[in-house]
Amino acid sequence: MNVNSVLIRYILCAKEHSKKIKKAMRRFIIMMIMLLPLAVSAQSLINSSSPVIEQGNDVYEFIKVDEFGHALVKYSKYDESGVLIQEGYYSNGKPAGTWNMYDSTGKVISTMKYDVQGRRAQLSTESKDREMVVWYSDNRPSKVTTRIKLQE
């Protein structure tokens, strides 16, 4: 193999690589052009004086951006009469921490805990006569325990 053949091979590989980069850049630019209207419309949903978005019975409240650049948003859901029935937080668009569901009197009837990746970790729910806990593994139920409450 002489120097000229190595040089020609290098030039051909560089041209092929350059074509791939140009193609990837074209795709990226087209994708950004397609996403631009979504970004503009999302900005119009947020009132600049209040970081709250209301959509029907759902309320999203911007809380902060954490040190990793993830937005923390509080979610609240109300029934038709305005009573809070569910609340929790989203981090980076995924459920985070503890989410509560309430009955019509405001009592917590169910609690779902999420891990740091936004996957279900534990569901606790109770009724008049029993309490149930469901543990999750890989976002699927892995263990269920039920405890019957004794009547007083």
Query: Is the Cβ–Cβ distance between 122 and 112 less than 8 Å?
Result: yes
Separation of alpha carbons 122 and 8, rounded Å = 62
pLDDT at 47: 45
More confident residue, 67 or 148: 148
Q: What is the pLDDT of residues 24-60, one digit of tens each?
A: 667 766 766 766 665 544 444 444 455 888 889 999 9
Classify 74 as helix, strand or coil: strand
**Cβ(74)–Cβ(61) under 8 Å?**
yes
Confidence band (pLDDT; 50, 70, 90) for 68? confident
> What is the spatial distance between Cα 22 and Cα 108, in angstroms, rounded to a whole number?
56
Eight-state DSSP code of residue 82: S
pTM: 0.63
Alpha-carbon dihedral 29, 33, 34, 39, rounded to 10 degrees = 120
